[in-house]
Each structure stands twice: as structure tokens, then as C-alpha cells.
Amino acid sequence: MHHLNIRSLEYLNAVSKYGSLRKASKMLNVDPAAVSRMLSQLEAQVEMKVWERNSRQSYLTEAGKELLEYYQSIVRGEAAVLSRLTKLKNLTGGSVSIAIGEGFITNLVSTPMQTFMARYPDINLSIEIAGALDAVKMLEDQQIDFAITYASAPHSKLHSHVERSHPLELIVPKGHFLTMNTSPATLQDLQDVSLALIDNSTGMGRLVKHAEQISHLTLKPKLQTNSVTALTNFVVAGLGVTFMPKLTVIDEIEAGTIEIVDTELGMLPKATVKVLSLKGESSARRLRHCLSS
């Protein structure tokens, strides 16, 4: 069977709605003969009568009712699609998926996310925890719309919407002997210090690895982890030191449980947080002004 003619179904709907072919043709502003011809073609296609008429009125057969239900489902589906498209166009609906480093999730969930969700209540957010390398790979594979990365390497296929400076700091327990030094700490100073380091798939890990290469030294961490929480707890418990952006441990600093020690590592102060998307992605174009605000 060939595809059903949508115009024939529209005429069938009008006959059912207005009760006669003549009234239907008048409301459709077409010749009655044209309506009759289209309905005849529809009957020939399905090989069944779709409507009957007598001296008083027209009415649909069981086959006509099936076709009418199908037509109405098309109309409802089209209306739903147009409604969703309008919401996307006006940024009042849809979904956005984001990958973000563990250390920045608390800051995202606080004021920025609250502001976004209040402004765009019909947009659903999906958030995944991922290191910089994994987040970029998810963007490349189009698994997510945006990645919020720390110290990620430049990428020709990605567009940076927002970039903010967040230096990588050496954080230590309150009263640690490194806080007594009058000069900035070097990697040499950390050779005999209990140290925790994060996995190299993260921007933090990548920066420390580069610092090792430049200094021609290899740090030997007491703890190696992919968890920002584990790093924080390691320092708060007084077990040793680690590298983290101040933003991720601001509460602990204000509480006086950890301190920041100045370092003599040139690349660490240059670290940035970026909001990235694939170049040319429609979702990025829709939401660029939101994430930039």
C-alpha cells in the first residue's frame, strides 16, 4: 500500500467534524467535487468505504474511523513537535548534558545551577563527573553538550565559551612545616614530604606531570587517586600535602583546617577553568549566552 494522502485524511476529518460533504467543503473553502474526489481516491487506496451519506447526513464507516484516529494522531504529534521546537528556539525547554570535574561540582550546583534552573525551569540538566581528558573525549563522541574542564589542553575541534583563571595551589594541613618557609616551595622541597597526587587523566594531574618534566624530578606520592574528595580528606586529616585549586577547598581554608603554600612552579598559576563545546553544535549556539552570563 502506498502512503496515505494527508489531504484526503484532512477532508475526511472535515466531513466527520461538520456532518456533511457540502458543509465540509464550505469550511475548507474548496469545491465539493474536489472533496468527493479525494475521498473516493482514499477509498480506492484502502479498498474499503470510509464514509456513507444519506439524505440527512454523512457519517464515517469503521474504516473511516480508523483513518480519522490515525490522522488525529498525526496532528497531535505535529503539534507536540512544533511545541518542543518552539521551546528549544526560545530556550524554554529541552535538555543539556554537562561533564565536569569532581572538584568543581559543588560550585556548579550552588549559585550557577540555581540561577540557571530558576531562569530556565523547563530545561533538564544531566551532569556527569569526568576528568579533563574524559570530558573532552565525551564531547568528541557527542555524548554531552558541554564540558567544564580544568587545565585542559587546546583542541582544534572545541570552542571555549568561558575561561576563568584558577591557579593550581599547593595545599597543606594547618601549621604544616612548609608554611614556615620564607621562600616559595619547589618540587625539590616535596621530595621527602608525604604527598597525594591525582590521576593524570585530570587537568590537575597533567599540570603536576608537566611540572615534574620541567624540573627533571619525579614525585613519589604516598597516595595516588582519581578522587578530589580523597585528596581533600588526606590533607585535612594531616596526612600530607597535595595540589588543588583554591576554589575546590575554599570551605576548608575558611574553616582553618588547611593552608596554601606559595610555589615556584611557573605553569601552575596559569591554570584555567573552561566551558567547552564542539564547534558548530546547535546546543552550544542556543545556550552560549546563558553560560557566558
pLDDT in tens, 168-204: 999 999 999 999 988 999 999 999 899 999 988 888 8
Least-confidence region, from 4-8, 81-85, 116-120, 126-130: 81-85
User: Sign of the CA dihedral 32, 35, 37, 43?
Assistant: negative
Cα–Cα dist 197/205, whole Å: 7
The residue among 6, 267, 285, 292 whose CA lies nearest residue 162 is 292
Residue 289 predicted with pLDDT over 70: no
Q: Percent of the chain scored above 90 by pLDDT? A: 22
Least-confidence region, from 2-6, 64-68, 86-90, 221-225: 86-90
Cα–Cα dist 108/120, whole Å: 16
Least-confidence region, from 71-75, 114-118, 170-174: 114-118
| pTM score above 0.85 | no
Mean pLDDT of the chain: 83
Cα–Cα dist 214/188, whole Å: 12
Least-confidence region, from 158-162, 184-188, 247-251, 282-286: 282-286
Residue 274 predicted with pLDDT over 80: yes
Domains along the sequence of the chain with CATH: 6-69 (1.10.10.10), 90-165+273-292 (3.40.190.10), 168-270 (3.40.190.290)
- Spatial CB neighbours of 103, under 8 Å, sequence gap ≥ 6: 150, 204, 228, 244, 245, 247, 248
- Partnered with residue 124 across adjacent β-strands are 95
Contact present, 252 and 232 (Cβ < 8 Å): yes
